[in-house]
C-alpha cells in the first residue's frame, strides 16, 4: 500500500537510523546511474545548478565540477552533515536544509536536477514544484529527472511521478531526451522557446 505523504520527518527519522539508507556511496546501481546522469547533461558547464534532495552528497560531489555554483538542498540535516564533509573540497557548493516545494532557494538556475525525488511528493506537491521551477529557470537551461522504476510504497511510482511532472510543466518545458533501463528512467527537459516575433513590413 502506498503512503499518501512523505514529509521531512520521514527523512530525518530515516537518516537517524542509517547514515546511508539507500547505499548511495556503495551501490553499483547508483554508481552506474550517476555516470549516466552526468553523461546526459548537454552542457559541459552550468552557471548555477540546483540539486533537490542531495542526501549525503555522493552525486553532489560529482556534479559540482560541472557548475560554477551549485545549490544542494535536503530536508534532513543529518544527511547534510555527511554531504558537507564529503563535498568539503568543493568550494562552489551551498547546502541548505529545505523541504521542497514549500521551501525553495532564491534566485534562478540553468540546471535543476531531480534525481530519485519526484515520487516522494505526490501529485499535489508536484504541481507546486512545477510552479517553483517555472519561476526559477534561466534561459537556456535544463531540468534533469532520474527515477527508479521498481516497486516502492512511495506516493507515486517512478513512471507516474515523471508523467505527472511532464504534464504539470508542459506549458513551459519540453522533453528533449529520454533514456530507459530495466532499473531507472532518465528524462531531460528544457524550456519551450518563445515564439519569434514577426515584424511588420
The closest of 13, 41, 30, 50 to 129, measured between CA atoms, is 50
Rounded (10°) CA dihedral 60, 61, 66, 72: 30
Establish if 47 belongs to a structural domain: yes
**In this structure, what are the phi and psi dihedrals at residue 134, rounded to the nearest 5 degrees?**
-60, -35
Q: What DSSP assignment string belongs to 44-99?
A: S-EEEEEEES-TTSHHHHHHGGGEEEEEEEES-HHHHHHHHHHTTT-TTEEEEE--
Q: Percentage of residues in the chain with pLDDT exceeding 90?
A: 78
Can you read off the three cell numbers belonging to residue 151?
A: 516497486
The per-residue pLDDT for range 102-131, each reduced to its tens digit, is 999 999 999 999 999 999 998 999 999 999
Establish if 200 belongs to a structural domain: no
Whether the per-residue pLDDT at 4 is higher than 70: the answer is no
Provide the pLDDT confidence category of residue 3 given band limits of 50, 70 and 90.
low
Establish if 196 belongs to a structural domain: no
Establish if 167 belongs to a structural domain: yes
Establish if 199 belongs to a structural domain: no
Cβ distance 106 to 77 under 8 Å? no
Cβ distance 183 to 29 under 8 Å? yes
pLDDT reported for residue 25? 77
Task: Write the CATH number for 49.
Answer: 3.40.50.150
**Cell 560541472 -> residue:** 66
The closest of 37, 148, 16 to 82, measured between CA atoms, is 16
Establish if 22 belongs to a structural domain: yes
pTM over 0.85: yes
Establish if 112 belongs to a structural domain: yes
Range of the domain at 149: 8-191
Establish if 104 belongs to a structural domain: yes
Whether the per-residue pLDDT at 196 is higher than 80: the answer is no
Please tell me the total count of domains within the chain. Answer: 1
The per-residue pLDDT for range 6-23, each reduced to its tens digit, is 677 777 677 778 677 767
Amino acid at each position: 500500500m502506498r503512503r499518501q505523504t512523505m514529509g521531512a520527518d520521514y527523512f530525518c527519522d530515516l537518516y537517524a537510523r542509517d547514515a546511508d539508507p539507500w547505499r548511495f556511496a556503495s551501490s553499483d546501481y547508483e554508481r552506474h546511474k550517476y555516470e549516466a546522469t552526468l553523461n546526459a547533461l548537454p552542457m559541459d558547464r552550468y552557471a548555477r545548478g540546483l540539486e533537490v534532495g542531495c542526501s549525503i552528497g555522493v552525486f553532489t560531489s560529482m556534479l559540482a565540477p560541472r557548475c560554477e555554483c551549485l545549490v544542494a538542498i535536503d530536508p534532513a540535516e543529518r544527511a547534510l552533515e555527511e554531504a558537507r564533509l564529503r563535498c568539503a573540497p568543493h568550494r562552489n557548493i551551498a547546502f541548505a536544509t529545505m523541504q521542497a516545494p514549500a521551501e525553495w532557494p532564491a534566485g534562478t538556475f540553468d540546471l535543476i536536477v531531480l534525481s530519485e525525488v519526484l515520487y516522494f511528493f505526490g501529485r499535489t506537491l508536484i504541481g507546486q514544484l512545477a510552479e517553483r521551477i517555472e519561476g526559477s529557470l534561466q534561459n537556456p537551461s535544463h531540468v534533469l529527472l532520474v527515477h527508479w522504476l521498481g516497486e516502492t510504497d512511495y506516493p507515486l511510482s517512478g513512471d507516474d511521478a515523471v508523467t505527472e511532472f511532464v504534464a504539470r510543466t508542459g506549458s513551459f518545458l519540453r522533453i528533449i531526451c529520454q533514456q530507459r533501463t530495466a532499473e531507472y528512467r532518465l528524462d531531460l527537459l528544457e524550456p519551450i522557446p518563445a515564439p519569434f516575433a514577426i515584424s511588420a513590413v
